[in-house]
Amino acid sequence: MNAIKIPDIIIGRLPIYLRALQLMVEENIQTTSSQELGAHVGISAAQIRKDISQFGEFGKQGTGYKITFLIDKLKEILKIDRIWDVAIIGAGDMGRALARYQGFVNRGFRVVMVFDNDKSKIGQAIGEFVIQDMENMTEELKTRNIKIAMLTVPAPAAQKVTDLLVKAGAKVILNYAPVSLNLPEDVRVQYIDPATHLQRMTYYMV
C-alpha cells in the first residue's frame, strides 16, 4: 500500500477524519458523505475525497461512506488496528496528566509505564502506575518492546533522554519538552509546545 509515497500532509489529516468518524459512531450515525465529514472537520469535501482515494475506493458515488468500514480502513492504514504500548518519560505535571488521560482508549494506544529520575518520585503511584526509575528505562523498553514514548522531561534533559530512547529502540516520540530534538532518520517526532502553537496564531491578531 505504501509503494507510492503519500505526502505527510495527507497522513496528518487521516487521524482528524478518523476522530470525527468515531464521534459519529458514538452518536449512532452509520453512513456519511465527504460533505458531512468536511463540515465536521473544517476541510473541503473535495480534499477529503482526494485524500481517502489515495488508499483505495472506500465510498460509493451517491451513497457515501459506511462509517464503520471507513474507520476500519483508516485504522489499518494508520497501523492502529492494534494497541501500541506507550511509555511516559517524566512524571511532572504534564506526565501525570497524560498518565491519567482517558483519551487514548479506542484510539490505538495505552500507557504502560511512567519513568522519572527523581528519587523522591520513584515508587510513587499515578493512578494505576508506579513511577519507575529512569535508570532502568532502556532495559525496560527493550524487554517490553515499547517503540513509542511521550517525553515530558524539562527542556535541558530532553536530548539526553531522547538519545537513550533511541538506543532502546523507540521509533515514535511525542515531545512535550520545548526544544527541537536531533534524531536518526528512522525515528519520528511530533512536538507539543503550547507556546509555539499560540505564537503561530498571534501572528494573525489584528
Q: Which is nearer to a second copy, 60 or 110 (CB)?
A: 110
Q: Does residue 204 interact with a second copy by CB under 8 A? A: yes
Contacts of 17 (CB under 8 A, 6+ apart): 37, 41, 48, 51, 52, 70, 74
Say how many Å lie between the first and final Cα of the chain, rounded: 45
Rg (CA), the chain: 19
Restricting to residues 47-76, name those near a second copy by CB under 8 A: none
**Stretches 62-70, 77-85, 113-121, 133-141: which one binds a second copy (CB under 8 A)?**
77-85
193 counts as binding a second copy under rule CB under 8 A: yes
CB of 27 to a second copy, least distance (A): 10
Burial string for 3-17 (b: 16+ CB within 10 Å, else e) reads: eeeeeeeeeebbebb
By CB under 8 A, what part of segment 88-127 binds a second copy?
93-94, 96-98, 100-101, 103-104, 107-109
Single out the residue of 45, 78, 157, 164 in contact with a second copy (rule: CB under 8 A). 78
CB of 164 to a second copy, least distance (A): 19
Interface with a second copy (CB under 8 A), residue total: 61
Walk across the sheet containing 172-175 and list its strands.
Answer: 132-133, 109-116, 84-89, 148-151, 172-175, 188-191
Residue 41 amino acid letter: V
Separation of alpha carbons 161 and 139, rounded Å: 14
d(CA 117, CA 133): 6
Residue with cell 532518520: 185
The stretch among 61-69, 114-122, 138-146, 197-205 that binds a second copy (CB under 8 A) is: 197-205
Length of the chain: 206
Nearer to a second copy by C-beta: 60 or 144?
144
174 lies in the binding site for a second copy (CB under 8 A): yes
The residues that touch a second copy, with contacts defined as CB under 8 A, are 8, 11-12, 14-16, 18-20, 23, 39-42, 77-80, 84, 86, 93-94, 96-98, 100-101, 103-104, 107-109, 147-148, 150, 155, 171-172, 174, 178-180, 182-183, 188-190, 192-205
